[in-house]
Chain A
Amino acid sequence: MSYAPSAAAVKKIDGIIAPYPEKSAALLPVLRVVQDELGCVPPEAETWVAAKLGIQPIRIREVLSFYTMFRRRPAGKTIIQVCRNLSCTLAGAEDIIGFLKERLHVGPDGTTPDGRITLVTVECLGHCDHSPCLQIDGIDHGPVTRDGVAALLEELRAHE
């Protein structure tokens, strides 16, 4: 299997690479574009990015496995990140996580049976004055309650 990003993504990637004194430095932002397009960074995309940036694929695997926001395997269309660091824990994050797991019936990989939503727990979203907080596809919500979370899930369903 080979991968080639869309023309728009390639254009974006070229724009990202341009200002870096060494193109391999653009790896993180380039992987983000790829992941935005594919939902994850599969091996065939590693090969493409490696060729694009003039580095070995192994360097990409090293980076992918280091940063928690990169995914090597597909996840749900919607990603819910729930913070469970101290401020949020103090504000009841574990209860929110339990509630979400129950409502979404997520499997061990955190993804709903229909593959639509992936639930992940994260360490501090930097929104501690709104704890407990969570992020849905990059948008922060907080402080959330069980009812608030239920409403957010409803909204997600309505948008499908």
Chain B
Amino acid sequence: MSEDAVRLIPADEGSWRLEAYLRRGGYEAARKAVMSMAPADVITEVRKAGLRGRGGAGFPAGLKWSFVPQGGAGPKYLCVNADEGEPGTFKDRAILVRNPHQLIEGMTIAAFGVGIRKAFIYVRGEYGRIAGRLREAIAEAEDEGFLGGGIFGSGFDLEVIVHLGAGAYICGEETALLESIEGRRGQPRLKPPFPAVVGLFRAPTAINNVETLANVPLIIGRGADWFLGRGLPKDGGTRLFGVSGAVRRPGLYELPMGTQLRTIIEIHAGGPPEGVAIKAVIPGGLSAPALRPDELDVTMDFDALARAGSMLGSAGIIVIGDKIPILDVLKVMARFYAHESCGQCTPCRIGTSWIHKTVMRIGEGQGRASDLDHILRLADGMKGRTLCPMGDAAALPVQALVTKFRDELEKAVAR
């Protein structure tokens, strides 16, 4: 029980229900914040805890909140990014399914800290049924006075609206998400202005990932030091590591930030099945550049993976076994980004499609000697030049595969 109280994915029976959450000490942190803390202190505490965004970019959450202008008469919004679309990622789903109240409590604290009275949870369309459970949790919390008007009998209100997406990976990008909530195509906006200043309905907006917010009650309830102690000095807390692909026990593992990648794969997920060796590992969702088997002794945290030429991203670990041709992986990757490019800006719209066409041609046995260099050049043409981070997300993993598995791909091209 005591361990469940600090886990993002608790194991107790009916863990998603309010009564179970209350048994785990739920809503005490929100009560503490709303009833006894100054909003600025909430932000300070979260900043001290080194809570970095769990969506992919790893931006410090407290710092992000601090960019939202204080006070002001106009509305401000909180948007929860539950558009978990990064292939290989299923952690936010688990929070929504097993622990929705902890997200709601985290939202309440964040909204109180930033001075927000209206929040939207953007849930990807494919999680339609899961959103139903989330709505039930919101209703439960409202009934108990943990949400809605006069939370805990204070003067603080928070209205929460669940907004369902409809099938578009790009809506996980925060400004595309705002467009989508506003009822438009999910096409990312130019930054600056940043959403903290000009966001949803042109108002200052805080946008955070589900897992990020679900950590907030732990920080407020137990303190920044306690939280830091569960992770790394500048990168606090645990992380939900999703493991899929060629392992014996695919699943979600909640471990300290900075756990060794090899440990997660070999120990927690049981390593590859009998007779399979690891060929490559994608450490942070499909957009994270793949690592070779000799690169797995890396700690799973934002900085270490960046140094290793990859990224922690969404911490969705995909293990690729040696029975799978790398070309098949490349095909999936190329198809995915071409399918999900919003089409707004030139390099991504045409670059993803061009790479896809070339990879498919190689797959049809029509490869040319120059194709791999062309793919690398196309990726270069997208990298750092697109309107939103999707250009990099599409270019980097493709480049990594082509560079690291060049020999195998050369053979496929020559076939």
Closest Cβ–Cβ distance, residue A42 to chain B (whole Å): 17
Q: CA of A55 to CA of B185 in the docked complex: distance in angstroms? A: 14
B182/A22 in contact, CB under 8 A = yes
B251/A89 in contact, CB under 8 A = no
Select one of A53, A90, A139, A140 contacting B183, CB under 8 A.
A53
User: A63-B184, A66-B186 known; A22 and B318 CB under 8 Å?
Assistant: no
Q: Tell which of B38-46, B81-89, B257-265, B388-396 binds the partner.
A: B81-89
| CB-defined contacts of A86 to chain B, threshold 8 Å | 87-88, 245, 282, 286, 318, 320, 329, 332-333, 336
Q: CA of A26 to CA of B120 in the docked complex: distance in angstroms? A: 12
A129/B252 in contact, CB under 8 A = yes
Q: CA of A137 to CA of B340 in the docked complex: distance in angstroms? A: 22
| CB-defined contacts of A124 to chain B, threshold 8 Å | 85-89, 169, 286, 336
Q: CA of A127 to CA of B96 in the docked complex: distance in angstroms? A: 13
Q: Is B165 an interface residue (CB 8 A)?
A: yes
B329/A122 in contact, CB under 8 A = no
Q: Is B292 an interface residue (CB 8 A)?
A: no
Count A/B pairs, Cβ under 8 Å: 150
| CB-defined contacts of A55 to chain B, threshold 8 Å | 183
Name the residue on B nearest A85 (C-beta): B87
Q: CA of A31 to CA of B163 in the docked complex: distance in angstroms? A: 12
Q: CA of A84 to CA of B185 in the docked complex: distance in angstroms? A: 24
Q: CA of A35 to CA of B246 in the docked complex: distance in angstroms? A: 38
Q: CA of A135 to CA of B164 in the docked complex: distance in angstroms? A: 17
Q: Is B310 an interface residue (CB 8 A)?
A: no
Residues 154-194 of B, flagged 1 when their CB comes within 8 A of A and 0 if not, give: 00000101011111110000000000111111100000000
Closest Cβ–Cβ distance, residue A150 to chain B (whole Å): 23
Name the residue on B nearest A20 (C-beta): B161
Name the residue on B nearest A18 (C-beta): B161
Closest Cβ–Cβ distance, residue B134 to chain A (whole Å): 14
| CB-defined contacts of B85 to chain A, threshold 8 Å | 123-124, 126
If over half of A's interface residues share one DSSP class (helix, strand or loop), that class is named, otherwise mixed; here it is mixed
Q: CA of A19 to CA of B120 in the docked complex: distance in angstroms? A: 10
A127/B93 in contact, CB under 8 A = yes
B159/A28 in contact, CB under 8 A = no
Q: CA of A81 to CA of B124 in the docked complex: distance in angstroms? A: 15
Select one of B90, B201, B246 contacting A129, CB under 8 A.
B90
B126/A122 in contact, CB under 8 A = yes
A89/B93 in contact, CB under 8 A = no
B250/A128 in contact, CB under 8 A = yes
User: A53-B183, A123-B336 known; A128 and B165 CB under 8 Å?
Assistant: no
Q: Is B244 an interface residue (CB 8 A)?
A: yes
Q: Is A62 an interface residue (CB 8 A)?
A: yes
Q: CA of A31 to CA of B164 in the docked complex: distance in angstroms? A: 11
B87/A19 in contact, CB under 8 A = no
Closest Cβ–Cβ distance, residue A10 to chain B (whole Å): 18
User: A62-B184, A87-B88, A87-B318 known; A67 and B75 CB under 8 Å?
Assistant: no
- In the complex, chain B residues 316-357 whose Cβ is within 8 Å of any chain A Cβ: 316, 318, 320-321, 324, 328-329, 332-333, 336, 339-340, 342
B185/A87 in contact, CB under 8 A = no
Closest Cβ–Cβ distance, residue A92 to chain B (whole Å): 10
List 5 extra interface pairs beyond A87-B87, A87-B318, CB under 8 A.
A25-B201, A32-B164, A85-B336, A91-B245, A124-B88
Q: Which B residues lie at the A interface, using CB under 8 A?
A: 75, 84-90, 92-93, 118, 124-129, 159, 161, 163-169, 180-186, 201, 242-246, 250-252, 282, 286, 316, 318, 320-321, 324, 328-329, 332-333, 336, 339-340, 342
Closest 7 CB pairs of A and B: A27-B183, A68-B167, A67-B166, A69-B167, A128-B244, A87-B244, A129-B250
